Structure 1
């Protein structure tokens, strides 16, 4: 004879978690009709208890997965925000260092080649067009061959 469910039987360690306990559930007639429909739909003729137990297991899994999903989305979102923030900082610092080195290099080249303002303007315009055309991919050897004498002052 199964034991009745109460706080004592729930806390009793000698009762196995899979042992069935007897309890009272008040359900509407419509719910009982739904349970009976599920019994007819499944071919293995389960009992009402089996249907209710499976429904509780399903709902428990669904509810806990929703809680886990909400928690994981929150934690994952915060982690991604932190990673993107630190990545943005690293990229900004790298761009600053790159800009400083490029400025030094530009001043060195300009002082060595003694470019006029007009020559610099033509070179800059051609560079802008080239970078747009190649989507930022630059081939220095191709540039040297094409522009060897175009912008350099005569010797």
Structure 2
């Protein structure tokens, strides 16, 4: 069973207003219009600076996602909890009109932020807020201190 969610689409309508912002990216909502995910919600993420034209920013992002996927797969192989953690894996797309590159991925419903790269962790007592701290600890110990998964965010779904 795969531990990732892919685009599985070839086209989307992206809406004009910024939906959310992170430190380095702006996020727009959209809807897939072609492919297996047609009709489903998606997001388009653009880097905030001039890097929208530079391939290495996107290549580095996909490299980080690839490393993250290996850690999540190792987490599942270790059979620590029964629930699945699934990684959203974006694809690099280009806007037809502007030519700007973006990262498009399935929309995360029931969005929550579980921890940050500054050391903050959601300890509000929710079952997932506490459980999602464990992959961060696992990533550090499993990699011999080479990697630390942080800035974990996602949504709770019936299947994981």
Please tell me the TM-score bracket, short chain as reference: under 0.3
Which protein has greater RCO, CA pairs closer than 8 Å, 6+ apart? 2
Larger-gyration structure (1/2): 1
Larger proportion of helix: 1
Could you state the TM-score of these two structures normalised by the residue count of structure 2?
0.23
